[in-house]
Amino acid sequence: MEPMNKRALSFLMCGALTLSLATPALAVEDLSGHWAKDALETWQSYGVLRGDENGNIRPNSSITRGELAVILDRVMEYQVKAANRFTDLNSSWYTDAILGAAAAGILVGYEDGTVKPGAAITRQEAALMFARVLDLDTQGAPSAGYQDQSSIGFWAVGAV
């Protein structure tokens, strides 16, 4: 896939995933009747979304930092992996994706040396990761004027 196609694909995925992060968590076993059914099935057909251990796509459930790293890696195909300096990252199904995203500067850990791969990703963290994938200038971005604007961390305002 050419870089521009990856960039466009990442942008579209960004929108779909960001919208899904804004919905409350409900345990949905399949996509029947879901508002994003067509888009999610498209991503599934590309192999970007593969579902849980039973193959179910759960669009209203939170995703973890590790899961988002895997999704981005499936699109961007990171070739370089960072050395594992995260104290909480052991050998797991998402390890290579996290290390690839870390090497690309997309995913950074916390000050305590962890990356928290099993923690639900926040809207702020997801927005910042997508902004980094798309190489957006978040420093000069205006405030979006969200109702919860005051709860957005200073480090993510431009990305959100």
pLDDT digits (tens, 9 = 90+) for 77-135: 999 999 999 999 998 899 999 999 999 999 999 999 999 999 999 999 999 999 999 98
* Closest among 135, 3, 159, 156 to 78, alpha carbons compared: 3
Tens of pLDDT, residue by residue over 13-68, are 555 554 444 433 333 346 788 898 899 888 888 888 888 777 788 888 899 999 99
pTM above 0.85, yes or no: no
